[in-house]
Structure 1
């Protein structure tokens, strides 16, 4: 089976994507797969590079990778790919839309404002929301362009930074929620062990805490039964409501015994420091086996979609 590991892309998360791709290649079973690295930094390059693949293993993050764009291109070409489909990828990449859906489904998520241009800038609205706030790109990832703002003095510069980092020129101003940060990885509809996150030197789980060695302590946590059930219910509601499939990671803050969902990642990081492989390992699933299951489940999803399409015609 020819497995193309698609990495690179055009987003600010280019380097993270390369690290994910390299780690995937290191753990793919060469007895099962012919592994083909597919690195690109211009969308036009990709069409030729993916020809002949049996499956595209997506190691992409950010715009043109995690937002449904490449998923749609691969579907047009008839090439199976790993992870969620076009709709889920697009919805989860847009934090504002995904939070609106979660609110509708009764899932807790911090209050927020969404600004689509500097014309929307309103210190008064942020004052009503309540400081401190997290200013972040609406469609970004890896905490790039994200900043904690404690008062109006730092608001404007943080907003400019977030706008610069967002490919869609849209940002969130989200009420800061103090509490324990956890993450729930989901594989083929099953919630893996919950990981608790404590940043070593940062106030919150920023880029350095995520990717620098020793930047954060990430360990399996055993929550009280009722809280554990609430967390699992919130994570699965997100997964289903946003039409995710195969695998995803739901990032949550626990505050006063209540889970607040921050975001859903349809292509979570897969570097050696990443949370999904750690959660899988805690469930007794090796990195190699994790990739096997992602590929197998994705191919099953692809066949089912083809079957539905043929039946509909």
Structure 2
């Protein structure tokens, strides 16, 4: 089977996408698949290379816009090429932090209080004060903590907002919750071992996610009551957003209550990424994880 590893892309997360692609290429089962790197720069580039390479399956290593938002999946479906992970709807819903939080709130899934602001829209200081400092400012469509800032008082809010707008046309200002940060990896709807993240910086930022020694990441066993809460929330998110194959749900736990930060339909797969670490703890090597992702994805009728 000819497996095209689609990497690169147009977003600010291009560097991480390339790293994910490198790890996928390195760990693909050579007895089962012929790996073909497809590094792209834009939409047209993806179409041209897909037509040229004549692949049987697309292993998506893209992150951020045009990849994680359902656009690349839409092209693949139009060309009748099966691909890894969630479909167009789940990808687009989870990518938009404002819409995904609205849906979670409607379904009773706890998520930190927030407001969304579009570029050139006037800041509503009354609403921000109602949320209460500190707050987290971040792009609506983005990942890897790029353009994400913790703001402790009103003096710094405008600067953080302007910086975040350099990454996206819309941002959210979210209540900062100090607590235990955990990430829940999902494979075929099953919760894999939970990892607690202890960044050495103020929060799990870009450097903490991708540098070897910028954070401590530990597989943990939660007490039964809390584990049950976390598991139920993961199942509700998975069903709500119509996710499939694999993903990762990030949460903060405060006073024994979990709050969902976001749902990732194409989590990072670099050598430092959380999903492969969780899978390894479960007993799956990187190669076995990729085998599972491909096999599960091929069973889906898009």
Local SS of the residue matching 2:299 = helix
Q: RMSD over aligned Cα, in angstroms? A: 0.7
Give ranges in structure 2 of 5+ residues lacking alignment.
Answer: none
Offset at residue 116 of structure 1 (A): 1.4
TM-score (norm 2): 0.98
SS in 2 for 1:119: coil
Show the counterpart of 1:294. 293
Paired position in structure 1 for 2:90: 88
Alignment coverage as a number of residue pairs = 300
Q: 1:163 — aligned with what?
A: 165
Q: Secondary structure at the match of 1:165?
A: coil
The equivalent of 2:234 in structure 1 is: 235
Give yes or no for the alignment of 1:62 onto 2:64: yes
Find the counterpart in structure 1 of residue 108 from structure 2.
Answer: 106
Partner of residue 252, structure 2 = 253
1:216 maps to 2:218: no
Matched residue of 1:181: which SS? strand
CA deviation after TM superposition for structure 1 residue 59, in Å:
0.2
Alignment of 1:32-71 (within 5 A): 32-51=32-51, 52-71=54-73
- TM-superposed CA distance for 1:120, in Å, is 3.3
Give the corresponding residue for 1:264.
263
Find the residue that maps to 2:278 and give its secondary structure.
helix
Distance 1:283 1:205 in 2: 23
C-alpha deviation, 1:199, in angstroms: 0.4
Deviations, residues 5-38 of structure 1 (Å, cap 9, x unaligned): 0000000000000000000111001111010000
Structure 2 residue 173 is matched with structure 1 residue 135: no
Alpha-carbon offset, residue 124 of structure 1: 2.3
| 8 A contact 1:50–1:56 mirrored in 2 | no
SS for the counterpart of 1:267 is coil
- Do the aligned partners of 1:102 and 1:109 also contact (CA within 8 Å) in 2? yes
SS of equivalent residue, structure 2 residue 271: coil
- CA drift at 1:213: 1.1
CA distance in 2, matches of 1:144, 1:127: 24
Offset, 1:235: 1.1
Match of 1:308 in 2: none
Contact 1:135–1:147 (CA under 8 A) maintained in structure 2: yes
2: CA distance between counterparts of 1:119 and 1:207? 27
Deviation digits for residues 226-253 of structure 1, max 9, x if unmatched?
Answer: 0000001111111110110000100000
Which deviations, in whole Å up to 9, do the C-alpha atoms of 1:36-85 show, x marking residues without a partner? 00001121111121131100000000000100001011100100110000
Question: What CA distance in whole angstroms lies between the structure 2 residues aligned with 1:43 and 1:225?
Answer: 47
SS of the residue 2:212 aligns to: coil
Secondary structure in 2 matching 1:50: helix
Match of 2:79 in 1: 77
Separation in 2, partners of 1:123, 1:9: 36
Q: Which residue of 1 aligns with 2:173?
A: 173
Partner of 1:6: 6
> Which residue matches 2:273?
274
Task: Determine helix, strand or coil for the equivalent of 1:118.
Answer: coil
